[in-house]
Amino acid sequence: MGNQFKTLVLLATLSGLLIAISYWVIGGSTGLIIGIGLAAVTNLFSWYQSDKIALAVYRAQPVTEAQAPGLYRMVKKLSDRANIPIPGVYIVPGQTANAFATGRDPEHAAVAVTEGILQILPEDELEGVIAHELTHIINRDTLTQAVAATVAGAISFLAQMVSYSLWFGGGSRDDDRGGNPLGVLLTVLLAPVAATIIQLAISRTREFSADAGAARLTGNPRALARALQRLELTAKQLPLDGNPAFEPLLIINPISGQFLGNLFSSHPATDARVEQLLKLERELATTSY
């Protein structure tokens, strides 16, 4: 519940930032209305189109049970155990080892894995990865992350437009009709950074929740812990190319480190995730007796 509340607060803050920026830049009630409109449009767009965009970005191809029987059976078994519809099953071409889920709800969802991950993970570890992605679907994280990415993108786009206007003749604004000059400056300098930090904080929060959900779904937290360690090593050597806005969807992102690196990482440090999974393993062992 704590992670869900934190996510809600962060997402509300992100949308509020978009509305506030419009108010500062444009000024008055007009800016406020435009900001609310932008927030509504970007959220609606994310609701209906995010899954298609993410699958296209990574060139994911749908597969049937006949084409990938082992993978399909695993997704079906875990979906039945979680009591959700079987999502679309996709394979991403290439040797990179990674996976992601997308879709606005369990009835409109997809799970995608790379060819590389199918080659390097044993069955129990792959099961942990699939369970992690299904937990994202169950928790509606796929929609949350898509909305966060789209709103953050709208904020960055608005800031870029303001920057262009300042460079190309926007310096002689009428203060009575235009926006707050301080707001304009803060928009250009700070808004994209703030939006990115909030978006990535949302992603990190949801990863811990998905790890815990996967551990409970499979009953094998250690298998997912091993998978994360293995995937981090391979992802550093061969990262999955795509739009950075969709990196929060991936199960592993090798761009994580110390100090400010964690602030700008879409995922928690793998060591921290493994530690939480092993702690959960001990808790599950205790409650089983």
Q: DSSP letters along 179-207, please? A: --HHHHHHHHHTHHHHHHHHHHHHHHHHH
For residues 159 and 280, membership in a common domain is answered with no
What's the domain count of the chain?
Answer: 2
pLDDT level of residue 257 (50, 70, 90 thresholds):
very low
Yes or no: say if 104 and 142 are a contact pair by the CB < 8 Å rule. yes
Amino acid at site 208: F
The closest alpha carbon to 23, from 153, 180, 173, 130, belongs to 180
pLDDT tens track for 19-60: 666 666 655 566 556 666 665 665 555 556 667 878 888 999
pTM of the model: 0.74
- Cα 28 from Cα 286, distance rounded (Å): 59
Q: Mean pLDDT of all residues in the chain?
A: 78
For residues 102 and 68, membership in a common domain is answered with yes
> Which residue among 191, 219, 252 closes a domain?
191
Whichever domain contains 239, its CATH number is 3.30.2010.10
283 is catalytic: no
Residue 93 gets the label, from left (phi > 0), alpha (psi -120 to 50) or beta, of: beta
Yes or no: say if 213 and 130 are a contact pair by the CB < 8 Å rule. no
* Mean pLDDT of all residues in 231-257: 75
* Mean pLDDT of all residues in 260-274: 74
Which one-letter DSSP state was computed for residue 219?
S
For residues 107 and 229, membership in a common domain is answered with yes
The closest alpha carbon to 225, from 204, 246, 200, 208, belongs to 208
CA 69 to chain CA centroid, Å, is 28
For residues 127 and 248, membership in a common domain is answered with yes
For residues 135 and 147, membership in a common domain is answered with no
For residues 209 and 255, membership in a common domain is answered with yes
The per-residue pLDDT for 63 is: 96
Per the residue annotation, which of 65, 107, 115, 133 is the catalytic one?
133
For residues 131 and 153, membership in a common domain is answered with no
Range name among 169-173, 202-206, 208-212, 262-266 with the lowest pLDDT average: 169-173
For residues 160 and 68, membership in a common domain is answered with no
The per-residue pLDDT for 248 is: 75
Range name among 7-11, 177-181, 226-230, 285-289 with the lowest pLDDT average: 177-181
Host domain of residue 19: 2-53+142-191
For residues 282 and 148, membership in a common domain is answered with no
For residues 125 and 213, membership in a common domain is answered with yes
pLDDT level of residue 288 (50, 70, 90 thresholds):
low
Q: Is the pLDDT of residue 111 over 90?
A: yes
For residues 86 and 158, membership in a common domain is answered with no
> Which residue among 155, 172, 191 closes a domain?
191
β-sheet with 108-114: strand ranges across: 61-62, 88-92, 108-114, 99-105
The per-residue pLDDT for 3 is: 47
Yes or no: say if 90 and 112 are a contact pair by the CB < 8 Å rule. yes
Yes or no: say if 132 and 211 are a contact pair by the CB < 8 Å rule. yes
CB within 8 Å of 274: residues ≥ 6 apart: 225, 228, 229
What share of the chain has pLDDT > 90, as a percent? 38
CB within 8 Å of 224: residues ≥ 6 apart: 125, 128, 129, 131, 132, 211, 214, 215, 218, 277
* Mean pLDDT of all residues in 100-126: 93
For residues 39 and 163, membership in a common domain is answered with yes
> Which residue among 191, 221, 252 closes a domain?
191
